[in-house]
Structure 1
């Protein structure tokens, strides 16, 4: 109950919209389509979206008129997925056009006259569910005749009859009478080079004070001409020189 089943569970879907989708795929598809248009200025962005929508409607209209069949391709795919389950249905007739359909461990009441099934899928989708489709196959009926009108090819073509009207260029647009809006002037290349040399956060007019050079001191002897690492090397070098001089004196005495 914490997930609010009224927003996604089929038992709470409204009857009459003939849509069982509970995701936002259409919004994500729209955002992906206008992704390049978002980078443009406001008017150019709207013009790009308008042109994309106009071309999309024209393509969909051509596809709908090239399709042959009573219903849309979506219905064909929908019924093809249910065809495997319909072969295992057992049908028991009743009065007033009602039937009892067994499918696996489930049993549902189907009425072809009212186009209803107790699983509620037939009423929500507008396309026969697996129970109703199994009944139609047993009675050798055409399933497309019981599909909602919104999934018919004629209605599909009607959706794209009135598309977007092509527009003329900005020169022919009506004037608002307001002030013209221009892009900001581009900075000179020399100023850009100076800013890059001096740094982004530094002002080009103010002189920056010179930083004092840091003087390293030795941590052993405290002298300023070397550090502790070179002090040790200097000490080792001095000892080596003393040993060599002493060995030279010994050889001269011999």
Structure 2
């Protein structure tokens, strides 16, 4: 009988997971940090390490400006260690090559996608003590246009603006660290379905924000029941749909069809068309499901140019839409219900069988229910005084104003 190999170190990779994580002591954190690094395959250095605070960064921080970092203090009230900031994304070449090799081994033939939000955070770190928040905000806005560029020409246009705003030396060094095909829409070798970030874990944590405050067993049980209810409700709801696509995608299809009305179609040869309006022209190939705007390939959903070409050929538009957007596939996702649990046969001889929580003194203040956002995730607001985007408002604005007398 073949048994899969199991190592005690297999679980070390889960020892560090998120900001707000609690450890019994600072020594417990140091021990788990060491094992986490061993299992994850990287080295770190301690930029601060004393009896009340630990700050660990990737060993390649100074060489490759890697953004991996974890830090936190010891709470004086219970002597437990808490992670206050955790960026678990390596941008150094040594670690990046190892991760990509592992990804290619586990998922052969599938392109690897970097998270836009983590890259955005790593870029903002390169301007630490090098510019104000207004400069960083402008750089990140231009980086958004670079990452979301649909064509190679558009990419280089926005890249030039980014280099002018953020400094060619910093931007060029940052771009060299991350292959274009892993983060820019124009070069990604696969279908992204319009997704640029992998924040599903954060969305799930926000969904169970109330359950997370419960003791472990109650948290798991309440989360199970919440998921079971969601699976059931979505399964029942989807059975009432009468459309080919899900309601959300049917709405998108209608919007794209409305946009396609302004275009004219000229046939070139079999399945190839030129789609024009008063300003631009696009090449659409129905046999390869491609459009020169590249949005059909990126989203796996026909763009307005493709839809007008499909209608001109008197073909069914639904035949050119990825099956994952259909109501049938949605129903398949929720066709595996979570089975209910029964404890009617469970017995308990005495109250001594219960494990009670430890006696601890509750810290002052209201418990936090939301995760701590990283520096790169802060939302920009429009200042009513200087009319610039940033992290300040009219009351705290210190920008000089040009007043015409």
TM-score (ref. length: structure 1): 0.62
Q: Tell whether the 8 Å contact from 1:103 to 1:131 is kept in structure 2 after alignment.
A: no
Tell me which residue corresponds to 2:337: 163
Tell me which residue corresponds to 2:284: 110
Q: 2:263 aligns with which of 74, 89, 97?
A: 89
Tell me which residue corresponds to 1:72: 246
Tell me which residue corresponds to 2:373: none
Work out the CA distance in 2 between the residues paired with 1:103 and 1:46.
Answer: 56
Tell me which residue corresponds to 2:190: 15
Q: Residues 77, 104 of structure 1: CA spacing in aligned structure 2 closer, same or farther, 3 A cutoff?
A: farther
4+ aligned runs moved over 6 Å, structure 1? none
Q: Deviations over 1:24-54 (max 9, x none)?
A: 5644542232011011001110111111111
Work out the CA distance in 1 between the residues paired with 2:191 and 2:206.
Answer: 30
Tell me which residue corresponds to 2:215: 41
Work out the CA distance in 2 between the residues paired with 1:34 and 1:42.
Answer: 13
**What is the aligned residue count?**
181
Tell me which residue corresponds to 1:131: 305
Q: Deviations over 1:226-246 (max 9, x none)?
A: xxxxxxxxxxxxxxxxxxxxx
Q: 1:154 aligns with which of 307, 314, 328?
A: 328
Q: Deviations over 1:59-97 (max 9, x none)?
A: 111111111122221221112222332111121111231
Tell me which residue corresponds to 2:46: none
Work out the CA distance in 2 between the residues paired with 1:108 and 1:66.
Answer: 38
Higher strand proportion (structure 1 or 2): 2
Q: Residues 125, 65 of structure 1: CA spacing in aligned structure 2 closer, same or farther, 3 A cutoff?
A: same
TM-score (ref. length: structure 2): 0.40
SS at match of 1:110: strand
SS at match of 2:262: coil
Higher helix proportion (structure 1 or 2): 1
Q: Tell whether the 8 Å contact from 2:284 to 2:305 is kept in structure 1 after alignment.
A: yes
SS at match of 2:276: strand
| RMSD of aligned alpha carbons | 2.9
* 1:122 CA drift (Å): 1.3
Work out the CA distance in 2 between the residues paired with 1:27 and 1:82.
Answer: 31
Work out the CA distance in 1 between the residues paired with 2:218 and 2:344.
Answer: 10
Work out the CA distance in 2 between the residues paired with 1:186 and 1:30.
Answer: 28
Point out where structure 2 has 5 or more consecutive residues left out of the alignment. 1-119, 124-142, 148-179, 348-352, 362-405
Q: Residues 134, 110 of structure 1: CA spacing in aligned structure 2 closer, same or farther, 3 A cutoff?
A: same
Work out the CA distance in 1 between the residues paired with 2:344 and 2:221.
Answer: 10
Q: Deviations over 1:200-254 (max 9, x none)?
A: xxxxxxxxxxxxxxxxxxxxxxxxxxxxxxxxxxxxxxxxxxxxxxxxxxxxxxx
Work out the CA distance in 2 between the residues paired with 1:25 and 1:185.
Answer: 35
Work out the CA distance in 1 between the residues paired with 2:284 and 2:277.
Answer: 12
SS at match of 1:93: strand
* 1:142 CA drift (Å): 2.7
Q: Tell whether the 8 Å contact from 2:243 to 2:250 is kept in structure 1 after alignment.
A: no
Q: Tell whether the 8 Å contact from 1:14 to 1:124 is kept in structure 2 after alignment.
A: no
